[in-house]
Amino acid sequence: MAHESSHFRRPESVLVVVYTRLRQVLLLRRRRPAGYWQSVTGSLRWGESSLAAARRELLEETGIDGSFGLEDCAVINRYEILPAFGHRFAPGVTENTEYVWRLVLEEPCNVQLDAAEHVESAWLVAEEAARTTSSDTNRQAILELP
């Protein structure tokens, strides 16, 4: 198993669903793979908690400060790592563990995308966001929003 000094990613990540009280969900379109829509996601760094990763990824990917209001959904998903991302993990690592978080905002806000990672953002009503996202676990998290 890889460890902190490894250049491989830790096979654990966060999924952060950002939405409004009117159930408008923020989705981001990834640069690679092309056309892949998702909520905020990212790998945990070695030694980092899922809360710290959720806050960091939210800020890096959208410019939204998640210091307050992030809610742990108490959902942990396991899924196969997409072939497009497999090279980022140690040889033999094929599954990822994902911790689901959410953040509710009063209304949609402008986001500051990391241009190296995302090309577009959209605020979509929950049902449309669930149809649009490319990830099954993201779809489920959206459908389970309060």
Q: Where are the domains positioned within the chain? A: 12-143
Least confident of 27-31, 34-38, 80-84, 127-131: 80-84
- Residues 46 and 43: their CA atoms lie apart, in Å, by 9
**Burial of 11 per CB tally in 10 Å (0-12, 13-18, 19+):** buried
- List the beta bridge partners of residue 76: 99
Amino acid, res. 79 = Y
| DSSP element (H, E) containing 141 | helix 136-143
pLDDT in tens, 24-51: 999 999 998 899 999 999 999 999 999 9
pTM for this prediction: 0.93
pLDDT in tens, 135-145: 999 999 999 99
Quote the pLDDT of residue 35: 92
Residue with tokens 């140690």: 90
- List the beta bridge partners of residue 38: 28
Question: What share of the chain has pLDDT > 70, as a percent?
Answer: 97
Joined tokens for residue 103 = 């953040």
Residue 85 pLDDT grade (very low, low, confident, very high; cuts 50, 70, 90): confident
CATH class label, 12-143 = alpha beta
Of the chain, the end-to-end C-alpha distance in Å amounts to 38
Mean pLDDT of the chain: 95
- Please check whether residue 132 is in contact with residue 27, taking contact to mean a CB–CB distance below 8 angstroms: yes
Mean pLDDT, residues 62-78 taken together: 97
